A and B are shown apart, each in its own frame.
Chain A
């Protein structure tokens, strides 16, 4: 069967409405998705990073008090391998950096910040991405603190992936829906098309005196009723033929 994808004029507005509806659904669900994933991932990353910071802080006590700082560096280097963690630094109670993972140097923004602050802060480092930094005190802060910076681009990437997957699904549904809508509308428009053809043929028959087409008049749906009504009006307009009004109905 040949698929007719021409949209009848009658249904162009409803089709536009469907487009609009899908657009609203796509935008609203994406927004909800972004907000949800962003919120959940941020909370999860922050929570995990705080856990790691706490772990490093606990492990650092013995190293800071008893051992060489290379052991401390070795410890934080291992945690740097975890996805999402971009930098780690440890400061002592005087704010001196005891170990860190910055290359080529400690960023000015971090040098200028309060090293004792262990609250969650958002940082935009010069020449780099945006980061969320969490901290944890070492020995309740009397031996310093551990700070971990998470790259926000990891969260952004995960949001993009989640939204991308959702948009892919919605787009697929949308495409299938549009094709189905056009087919259904064309199906619905077919009687109107037949009626229009019938009206033209009827007018031609009235004018040229040819035979009146009867196929549509035999249908028992709304199209048949309208066809009979058209025939009736054409006969009313020509009283000589008014007597024939009852004939099709009788048949």
Chain B
């Protein structure tokens, strides 16, 4: 056998990975939402269309996230297009499915930028996917390619060296975990354990918990992980036992709905009856549906559940953007285009994820509108920076600047009451 030298081995590994990324096109499916050819597009702009590109999870155990985020955004774009678009140009979305896997997301992004030549990237889902795409944006920095409002609260797209190529609207995981830690500590639950996805997303949340606890003189008392893509049917007994042995007062989960629902189920079954918190990324309605569809006494399981959210309750129609969202979701009933549609997936009428997609789209439309009749990539960043104290109708003013690339910070905490997520007002009464 021919021996590989260390350098050759490393080079082969890296080149092999890149080659696999570029040529291994198995997992990605494309949908040309506009139906048009990229010919005639310059930087994703034609006389009658602005073309955006999306790579998200439309299949696999986390498909609910990509589907719901898209549906919310599409409700907004449908109304904008019905009214003549932005500056006379309708908004088109070119969609690719990455199944919440990094390699397909890299492939899809290359397709979007090199073949489809989209104007900007929008509506990406997930930390492990986005963190792998960010270096591509740096590579294309001279072409002013930006990513707008990814569905992740991780730090890599919020700080150097890639923060300048992305704009975030939602609060970060660091803020979400800090909020959860602070509330748990306030009610005397000091022994906090972490259940997290074994990847960049999980690590981002884990780091947030660690940092928040460290700032208050505490540390994580136990941790357990699961492999990305784990479905609800997977047993999480080992993870529960690891955490139970640590004797936590509360558990913070950093995962997607399938695995987190399985953890909640197994935790209660195995006697780990402590508050179990999830971040906004989890997909609250998908998680709740898995639990309620599979156990007899769902109340017994969901009474320990608390989820942080980055948008307000979709049932609170006193909030203008929620009213608008509800009206447009009812009017357009958006669905994922046929090639990517999952026949066995039943979308939600309302959800936190689709509301976030709606808010993201509404903000992007506002930014595109600020470029007037001649939008271009090189003016896009400056258009974003003109957003100062903008009232999106969500109860929080949105601002962007060179130093501030995250529009909102507000967090909302929800618990389950009679099978629905409702705001959590009193932590002590619920979990004290």
Contact = CB atoms under 8 A, between A and B. Distances in A.
Interface of A: 37, 40, 44, 47-48, 50-52, 55, 66-74, 77-79, 81-82, 99, 101-106, 162
Contacts of A81: 17
A51 B242 contact: no
Given A68-B155, A105-B224, A51 B203 contact: no
A73 B199 contact: yes
Interface residues of B, number: 37
A68 B207 contact: yes
Contact of B239 (A52, A77, A105, A106): A105
Interface of B is mostly: helix
Contacts of B127: 70
Interface string B234-247: 00101100100000
B201 interface: yes
Q: Which of B132, B155, B200 has the most CB of A within 10 A?
A: B200
A73 B226 contact: no
B85 interface: no
Interface stretch (B1-9, B175-183, B381-389, B414-422): B1-9
A72 B202 CA distance: 12
A61 B297 CA distance: 50
A37 B155 CA distance: 45
B154 interface: yes
A52 B10 contact: yes
Contacts, number: 91
Interface in B115-161: 127-128, 131-132, 154-156, 159-160
Contacts of B7: 51
Nearest to B240: A104
Closest 8 pairs between A and B when the two form their complex, measured CB to CB: A68-B155, A73-B203, A70-B204, A51-B6, A74-B200, A70-B200, A69-B207, A48-B9
Nearest to A102: B225
B224 A104 contact: yes
28 contacts: A44-B3, A44-B4, A48-B10, A51-B6, A52-B10, A55-B10, A68-B154, A68-B155, A69-B203, A69-B206, A70-B156, A71-B155, A71-B156, A71-B200, A72-B203, A73-B200, A73-B202, A74-B128, A74-B199, A77-B102, A77-B199, A77-B200, A104-B225, A104-B226, A104-B238, A104-B242, A105-B224, A106-B223
B227 interface: yes
Contacts of B239: 104-105
Contact of B156 (A47, A68, A162): A68
Nearest to A72: B203
A68 to B, nearest CB: 3
Contacts of B6: 47-48, 50-51
Given A44-B4, A68-B156, A74-B156, A102 B198 contact: yes
A157 to B, nearest CB: 13
Contact of B159 (A50, A52, A68, A79): A68
A9 B9 CA distance: 58
Interface string B190-201: 000000001111
Given A48-B4, A77-B200, 13 more contacts: A40-B3, A51-B6, A52-B10, A68-B154, A68-B156, A70-B204, A73-B200, A74-B131, A74-B156, A102-B225, A103-B226, A104-B242, A106-B223
Contacts of B289: none
A44 B204 CA distance: 34
Nearest to B238: A104
A70 B207 contact: yes
A69 B224 CA distance: 17
A105 B203 contact: no
A67 B203 CA distance: 12
Contact of A105 (B4, B154, B223): B223
Contact of B227 (A44, A67, A103): A103
A4 to B, nearest CB: 43
A129 to B, nearest CB: 17
A195 B198 CA distance: 83
Q: Which of A47, A55, A67, A73 has the most CB of B within 10 A?
A: A73
Contacts of A102: 198, 225
Interface string B214-229: 0000000001111100
Contacts of A55: 10
B227 to A, nearest CB: 5
A74 B199 CA distance: 7
Given A51-B9, A78-B17, A104-B238, A70 B225 contact: no
Q: Which of A37, A74, A81, A162 has the most CB of B within 10 A?
A: A74
Nearest to A69: B207
Contacts of A40: 1, 3
B159 A70 contact: no
Contacts of A52: 10, 13
A67 B159 contact: yes
A218 to B, nearest CB: 61
